Amino acid sequence: MVKCLESEGVSVIFGYPGAAICPFYDRLLDSDIKHILVRQEQNAVHAASGYARSSGKPGVCVATSGPGATNMITGIATAYTDSIPIIAITGQVRSDLLGRDVFQEADITGACEPFVKHSYLVKNTADLPRIFKEAFHIASTGRPGPVLIDIPIDMQTNEIESFEYPSKANIIGYKPNIKGHSVQIKKAAELIRSSSRPVIVAGGGVLSSGVKLKLVDFAVTTGIPVVSTMMGIGVMPSEHRLYLGMLGSHGKGVANRVIHESDLIIVCGARLGDRAVAAPDQISERSKIIHIDIDPAEIGKNIKTTVPIVGDMRDIMSRLADAVGEYHVSPMWDDTIERWKKDLFRLPKEFDGFVEPRSFVAKFSHMLPSKAILVADVGQNQIWCANNFRIKEGRFLTTGGMGTMGYSIPAAIGAKFARPEREVVVICGDGSFQMGMNELGTIAQNNLNIKIIVMRNTRLGMVRELQKNLYRGRYSATFLDENSPDFMKIAQAYHIPSVMASSNEEAEKIAAEMLKHDGSFMLVCNVSPDTPSI
């Protein structure tokens, strides 16, 4: 197993040991692969996710059988909905005892079936090299996703005659390298040329396929404006004239307006989930839709499509750009959008004695180096970041598909291991912080330099906002204690310096000091519970 990982060029893995995975951990001691001990297995998967997204290579995480494996499930499900390439390795009880409910036996391949791209239960040690080769191939090609390898302890200790790592995976039912169909590309180009109010919707697929720059080029030459889904934030610099922000129920007014008034929507690497587009039928009635995706099952699933193009977006994007040739959106469309941008812009309302998180995030983005990686958690804090973080050449990492609270801190750890030279910043809520704060241990133990900003509104703000709007202000179970925890003391317990801020002026001053500090740092912003998401 260790040799397989070495053959794949793996240098860091995230995990948590236990009896059923001990043979692997024993051999790991003799390898150059660095193992990062997390504080809970779910976070090993999130860390692998942050690593994968920042490095472009699959992230690897490891856990023991039974509770170790079941703890991973939420992480695996999160990676699945966010289409992140992950190899999850679990120890399992002895193969001859499978099915007898022995100590720490859990049917993890069964339990994870809905959330993995594929899974293996190893029944023969000699199969390990083939299985690892296939797993890495499946996780990282086509639409990326997590692959689980469950390995009974005897499969880890059995001797095999000789070790040979296959150079290629050969799976007859898996041929992910589809080339976009020329006829479809031609049809799409015709649609674009005959449209007067087109818009591009860019999703996570644009980032994972590495087609970002090509897409920006295409937008610039044609003048087609770009909106993004939450997973697509970062496809264009936020302040680019053609970038209109995130669409959807928590998105920007102008982005939604443009979608509704357009006559052609070019969807790139996005599935248009219910958070992005609430009434897809209405939209497809009004405008034509081109949908480009590597996963044929996404086409027609959520929205009716005029011209689908299935395949690798890198190839499709250049061919589409060539086929479109000289074309520019009508100046009217350009002017209208510029007007909407101004009309729909609102300055956030401030609350005395608190940090205004939306203007702070915007201000803070400009203090960061241009390639910084911002990891947002889930809740209002995520929306504040998604709409106000001014991304340049860096990354915005968050979980859009599953929205798993507690993602940000472990994902930032993974990102830092992938990109040690970059500034990595977490912005989370006080609820989500408390779901991931055990990983401060991992940060401290590894002397990582991660900046953490906690938006402390003493509420599960996003759910509270929902209760305010839909349940007539009957607040149920959304109040987090105002007296505990003492965030400063928690940071202190891990030797992480921390400061609290109660106004934007204070917060900006501390943020500047924080960024100068060589090492982890925590900034706690007191935020009014009444601050809205948008």
Partner 1 sequence: MKHTLSVLVENQAGVLSKISGLFSRRGFNIDSLAVGVTADPNISRITIVADGDDYVLEQLEKQLNKLIPVIKVKAFESGSYLSRELSLIKVNCTASRRPELIQIAEMMHAKVIDAAVSTITLEFSDTAEQTEILMNLLRPYGIREIVRTGTVAIEKGNSSVSVQSGS
Binds 463: which of ligand TPP, Mg ion, partner 1, none (CB < 5-8 Å by kind)? ligand TPP
Site for partner 1 in 24-43 (CB under 8 A): none
Q: Which does 114 bind (CB under 5 to 8 A by kind): Mg ion, partner 1, ligand TPP, none?
A: partner 1
Of 270, 461, 498, 528, which one interacts with Mg ion (CB under 5 A)?
Answer: 461
Element (H, E) at 340: helix 331-343
Residue 99: left (phi > 0), alpha (psi -120 to 50), or beta?
left
CB of 466 to ligand TPP, least distance (A): 9
Neighbours of 110 (CB within 10 A): 10
The residue among 105, 152, 104 whose CA lies nearest residue 124 is 152
Q: What is the dihedral of CA 530, 531, 533, 534, to 10 degrees?
A: 120
CB 225 within 8 A of CB 201: no
Q: Residue 123 CB, nearest distance to partner 1 (Å)?
A: 7
Residue selected from 102, 160, 171, 279 as contacting partner 1 according to rule CB under 8 A: 171
Quick one: which segment of 249-257, 408-416, 425-433, 466-474 binds Mg ion (CB under 5 A)?
425-433
Residue 188, judged by CB atoms within 10 A of its CB (0-12, 13-18, 19+), counts as: buried
Instruction: Tell me how far CA of residue 225 lies from CA of 230, 252, 327, in angstroms.
Output: 17, 14, 13
Number of helical H runs and strand E runs in the chain: 22, 18
Q: Are 502 and 433 in contact (CB under 8 A)?
A: no
Q: Which of 450, 431, 527 is nearest to 494 (CA)?
A: 450
Report the partner that residue 18 touches, choosing among ligand TPP, partner 1, Mg ion, none (CB closer than 5 to 8 A by kind).
none
Nearer residue to partner 1 within complex by CB, 302 or 382: 302
Residues 418-437, mask of contacts with ligand TPP (x by CB under 6 A): -----------xxxx-----
What is residue 265's three-state secondary structure? strand
Closest distance of CB 254 from ligand TPP, Å = 24
Positions in 460-479 near ligand TPP (CB under 6 A): 460-463
- Describe the strand order of the beta sheet including 118-121 as a list of residue ranges: 34-37, 12-15, 59-63, 86-92, 146-152, 118-121
Q: Which partner in Mg ion, ligand TPP, partner 1, none is near 509 (CB below 5 to 8 A by kind)? A: none
The nearest distance, CB 405 to ligand TPP, in angstroms, is 4
* Residue 475: exposure state from Cβ atoms within 10 A (0-12, 13-18, ≥19): middle
Residue 173, binding choice from Mg ion, ligand TPP, partner 1, none, Cβ under 5 to 8 Å by partner class: partner 1
The interface region with partner 1, picked from 152-160, 253-261, 263-271, 290-298 by CB under 8 A, is: 290-298
Minimum distance of ligand TPP from residue 488's CB (angstroms): 17
State yes or no: residue 99 binds partner 1 (CB under 8 A): no
Residues in the chain: 534
List 268's β-bridge partners, or say none. Answer: 202, 292
The CB-side HSE value for 168 (13 A sphere, CA atoms) comes to 5
Identified binder of partner 1 from the candidate list 4, 69, 89, 121, rule CB under 8 A: 121
Task: Find the part of the chain contacting ligand TPP (CB under 6 A) among 148-156, 294-302, 458-466, 482-490.
Answer: 458-466
The single residue among 210, 296, 420, 485 that binds partner 1, judged by CB under 8 A, is: 296
Q: Confirm or reject binding of residue 144 to Mg ion (CB under 5 A).
A: no
Burial of 101 (0-12, 13-18, 19+ CB in 10 A): exposed
Q: Does 279 bind partner 1 (CB under 8 A)?
A: no
CB of 406 to ligand TPP, least distance (A): 6
Q: Of partner 1, ligand TPP, Mg ion, none, which one sits near residue 404, judging by CB under 5 to 8 A according to partner kind?
A: ligand TPP
The first and second tokens of residue 534, run together, are 């948008």
Stretch of 44-52, 161-169, 242-250, 459-467 lying at the interface with Mg ion (CB under 5 A): 459-467
Which residues of the chain form contacts with ligand TPP (CB under 6 A)?
377-381, 403-405, 429-432, 455, 457, 459-463
